[in-house]
């Protein structure tokens, strides 16, 4: 069974995890999120991603939850050479990874030969999957939430494959 959620309901689902929240990000260039517009513009103008403080709440949440043994894991499939948006996300990862987020990178060329789905998703506590849906302009519309064991197990497989082949942030930025 599935239901469609968006906005605050989607945020509550993702942040309502007890043990782990895993995100697979495969979109090529950009996620249109209004709260990123100004920080992205400033980053492209040469400022640090931390100047405006827009990420402070997320960073504090990461520190608090990781201190309690909870984990947010993210695998980003990225093109190489990097787009400007990927460079922005790498700069942001330099803040979020030390705060406790396990961020990994999987080059798109390597991902092509893996058995990954054609969509982004959140896997919550290995028991629910939120398959993300986007508009033509890359704006997040919401997610189809599934708790069917067959759908969940398949996405656990995708998580395992992506995590196995992805490179942890600290290693990726030094290679």
CATH code for the domain in which residue 53 is found: 3.30.870.10
Question: Residue 173 has what pLDDT?
Answer: 95
> Are 145 and 13 contacting, i.e. CB atoms less than 8 angstroms apart?
yes
| pLDDT class of 175 with cuts at 50, 70, 90 | confident
Model pLDDT, residue 32: 66
Which whole number is the average pLDDT over 119-127?
Answer: 98
Per-residue pLDDT, 27: 86
Do the Cβ atoms of 161 and 169 come closer than 8 Å?
no
Q: Is the pLDDT of residue 33 over 80?
A: no
The domain of 166 spans: 2-174
Total number of domains constituting the chain = 1
List the one residue out of 161, 25, 6, 175 whose CA is nearest residue 103. 25
CA–CA gap between residue 114 and residue 120 (Å, rounded): 15
CA 101, chain centre distance (Å): 10
Residue 77, pLDDT score: 97
Give the residue from 163, 175, 79 showing the smallest Cα distance to 114. 163
State pTM to two decimals.
Answer: 0.94
């Amino acid at each position: 069974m599935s239901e469609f959620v968006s906005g605050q309901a989607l945020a509550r689902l993702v942040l309502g995890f007890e043990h782990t929240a895993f995100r697979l990000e495969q979109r090529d260039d950009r996620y249109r999120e209004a709260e990123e517009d100004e920080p992205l513009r400033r980053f492209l103008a040469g400022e640090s991603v931390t100047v405006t403080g827009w990420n402070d709440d997320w960073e504090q949440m990461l520190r608090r939850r990781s201190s309690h043994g909870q984990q947010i894991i993210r695998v980003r499939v990225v093109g190489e050479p990097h787009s400007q948006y990927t460079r922005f996300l790498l700069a942001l990862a330099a803040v979020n990874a030390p705060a406790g987020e396990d961020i990994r990178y999987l080059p798109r060329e390597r991902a092509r030969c893996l058995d990954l789905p054609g969509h982004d998703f959140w896997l919550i506590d290995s028991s629910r999957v939120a398959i993300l849906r986007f508009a033509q302009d890359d704006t997040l519309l919401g997610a189809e939430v599934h708790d069917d064991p067959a759908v969940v197990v398949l996405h656990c497989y995708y998580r395992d494959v992506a995590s196995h082949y992805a490179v942890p942030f600290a290693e990726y930025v030094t290679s």
